[in-house]
Structure 1
């Protein structure tokens, strides 16, 4: 089996897809994994702006069929590289229209598809997750839900915990993950400076670095648990 495609989604803006993608890239680069970043947010490519100097990267229009074709071609041409895809908001519309291009290619690619679905505490996050599960069923992959700690601690994600989607995720081999909150002052520095997490560890003030290192260590445990 070739390296996985890690699909970071949530199909809406503001749930934390960018910081989740950055966390994945940070972990994989620290593990010395061969990588390729596909940035799908053409409007505000935050992840690409921070990581294009460190990781092979390109920006794709995943609202169009051409973008999905290129994603499959990149995955085919780089079998030994983990492909990290940072998807745009509204991505379910594109999955509905073009997702079969990827699903139908997974067997030939010999790659598992790992989706990290980032949620907040609102019902529409779960409705969009349900749509995605239905559209992507039958593929060679697994969906993990990432509860973004920016929106509160784990017990506050009651809608998800009480939803049948939690069992549906578990039945297909997925896990309910928790992305710890990172202090606003640190995330502000990351986005304003357009730097990687590893660069931030070298450049930020001591207290900010300590907070970032705490967060990175917890994220590492989360990603190890799902075998990324």
Structure 2
């Protein structure tokens, strides 16, 4: 089945772009026809990494909108999707993405489903307790076919347990409503820096024999990718590494 993966979280710096890259790489490894949609056209870090990569169609739609502007942006997005051949679409939502995603959920979800997409939302867990409230009242999360709350351990140095995911009340609300729980493991800063230095190539390329990195760094990335896919991406979209 075709997949629309929405990388959400409503805050900046929670790991939406990381999940979007991991999902894009997984789609490429699985031989899918991948499209990357940048919802924050000012930053566009995921789009830059996969711009020009074979098998990836990329475009930007400014989703930092509300009201009629949000509806127009969503309309433009789905017109492009309907005309594309992509069967694995990764949408990297902007901070405050709820302005467009929640207000237009009753357009986004049914139109995506009519186009044959399963709607999958990855809610990236921030350190603030408000992430629980935002996740559990998110309309796009509620309407999605599948959803997962993902801890990005690289951002967890100040709260190793992520309060709301380990608090029984908030966790149970999420799980009882059909939400899954996932995790992206920490990646050594020295290796993360190498990934940032090497733009314009998929993450998996940096772990391959053609990578410009040292063998040890390639292996660290390879292990991290496998654990990230198994811990967060595959539970959301299905399949196997």
CA distance in structure 2 between the aligned counterparts of 1:35 and 1:158, rounded to whole angstroms? 35
Distance 1:69 1:78, change over 3 A: same
Please point out which of 111, 114, 120 is paired with 1:108: 114
Say yes or no: does 1:224 pair with 2:234: yes
Please tell me whether residue 205 in structure 1 is matched to residue 210 in structure 2. Answer: no
Asked whether the equivalents of residues 3 and 79 of structure 1 are also in contact (C-alpha less than 8 Å), the reply is no
2:130 to 109, 121, 124: 124
Matched residue SS, 1:199 = helix
Per mean C-alpha deviation after superposition, the further-off stretch among 177-186 and 152-161 is: 152-161
CA RMSD of aligned residues (A): 2.2
CA offset at residue 155 of structure 1? Answer: 6.1
Aligned to 2:31: 32
Structure 1 residue 75: Cα displacement: 3.2
Stretch deviating more after TM superposition (72-81 or 210-219): 72-81
Q: TM-score, normalised by structure 2?
A: 0.84
Q: Which of 224, 228, 232 is matched with 1:215 structurally? A: 224
For residue 167 of structure 2, the aligned residue among 137, 162, 166 is 162
For residue 208 of structure 1, report the CA deviation from its aligned partner: 1.6
Matching residue within 65, 74, 89 for 2:95: 89
1:56 alignment partner, SS class: strand
Using the TM superposition, name which of 73-82 and 176-185 deviates more: 73-82
Structure 1 pair 107/193, CA: closer, same or farther in 2 (3 Å)? closer
5+ unaligned residues in a row in structure 1: which ranges? none
Distance in 1 between the 2:172 and 2:179 partners? Answer: 9
The question of whether the paired residues in 2 share the 8 Å contact of 1:39 and 1:85 is answered with yes
Give me the whole-angstrom Cα distance separating, in 1, the residues matched to 2:102 and 2:234.
30
Matched, 1:4 2:9: no
Shift of 1:46: 0.5
Q: Given that residues 107 and 140 in structure 1 are in contact (C-alpha distance below 8 angstroms), is that contact kept between their aligned partners in structure 2?
A: no
Q: Distance in 2 between matches of 1:137 and 1:196?
A: 28
Aligned-partner Cα distance in 2 for 1:166–1:7: 21
Q: CA deviation at 1:126?
A: 1.8
* Stretches of structure 2 lacking an aligned partner (at least 5 in a row): none
Matched, 1:174 2:179: yes
Quick one: distance in 2 between partners of 1:200 and 1:215? 12
**1:159, CA displacement in angstroms?**
2.3
Aligned-partner SS, 1:112: strand
TM-score normalised by the chain length of structure 1 = 0.88
